[in-house]
Amino acid sequence: MKKIDFKKELKYLYKPSAKKAELVQVPEMNFLMVDGAGDPNHSKQFENAVVALFGLSYTLKFMIKKGALGVDYGVLPLEGLFWSDNMADFGADNKKDWKWTLMVMQPQCVTHALVDEASALVRKKKNPIALPDVRFARFSEGQAAQIMHIGPFSEEGPTIENLHQFIEAAGYQLSGKHHEIYLSDIRRAAPEKWKTIIRQAVKQ
């Protein structure tokens, strides 16, 4: 059986430095996505989206492992795109006005037909509330800057500021949405050890 570690194959996307921001070219990839709005820290919609995304992602993983493809891989981490209607006002002080898209990257072998089949299985077994909101789509981020944040989400401010200063010094402008990739299981790891990739699409 073929085993694939996508975080190793795409190491440049999943292991940035925590000391220095860097520019990366992010390829177009497949994702399961759920859109929502409101403060992620107090949103039941956010929580329901996470449950549906991982329920479907793990079902797809085991279908592909046991099926004709015979490929085993680790489910990729949760990612979030965050924005507000007026990005000039986007910040930690007005999270209630945030809009977001939660997503989990899927291997190239995942198709719409497989997603439909997996959705039917998940619906039959657990039927999470947000399952009907999950969509399967391509996402193209292109050129971006990123850095690793280590610590609680509430302390991301200086890391984000560091990233934005790097972007400006490199002669780029912010483009698109604030992007976070959550590498740690926050149910088990201590907050001071949480690892979060902070990524921002850029343009010249």
C-alpha–C-alpha distance, residues 24 and 177, integer Å: 16
Percent of the chain that is helix, strand, coil (3-state, to 5): 40, 35, 30
C-alpha–C-alpha distance, residues 48 and 186, integer Å: 16
| Model confidence pLDDT, tens digit, residues 176-199 | 899 999 999 888 889 999 999 999
| Model confidence pLDDT, tens digit, residues 50-72 | 999 999 999 999 999 998 778 89
Q: Are 145 and 173 in contact (CB under 8 A)?
A: no
pTM here is: 0.94
Q: Is 150 left (phi over 0), alpha (psi -120 to 50) or beta?
A: beta
How confident is the model at residue 88, as a pLDDT? 67
Number of H helices, E strands in the chain: 5, 10
What does the H/E/C string look like for 39-84?
CHHHCHHHHHHHHHHHHHHHHHHHHHHHCCCCEEECCCCEEEEEEC
**Position 35, amino acid:** D
C-alpha–C-alpha distance, residues 76 and 2, integer Å: 17
Q: Are 182 and 125 in contact (CB under 8 A)?
A: no
| Model confidence pLDDT, tens digit, residues 117-127 | 999 999 999 99
**Position 192, amino acid:** E
Q: Which residues of the chain have pLDDT under 70?
A: 87-89, 92
If one counts every other C-beta atom within 10 angstroms of the C-beta of residue 13, the result is 21
C-alpha–C-alpha distance, residues 14 and 75, integer Å: 13
Q: Are 122 and 56 in contact (CB under 8 A)?
A: yes
**Position 148, amino acid:** M
